[in-house]
Amino acid sequence: MTITSPLSYVYDGTRCLGFILKRGKLGFEAIDREEASLGIFKTQTAATNAIFSHEKSPAAKGGANIEGPHESSNTASAAAQ
Give CA–CA dist 20/11, Å, rounded: 11
SS3 call for 12:
strand
If residue 78 lies in a helix (H) or strand (E), which one and from where to where? helix 75-80
Degrees to nearest 5, angle at CA 33 with 76 and 1: 135
DSSP 33-44: TTS-EEEEESSH
Q: What is the pLDDT of residues 21-76, one digit of tens each?
A: 999 999 999 999 999 999 999 999 999 999 999 988 766 655 444 333 444 334 44
Mean pLDDT across 76-81? 42
pTM tops 0.85: no
> Which amino acid is present at 11?
Y
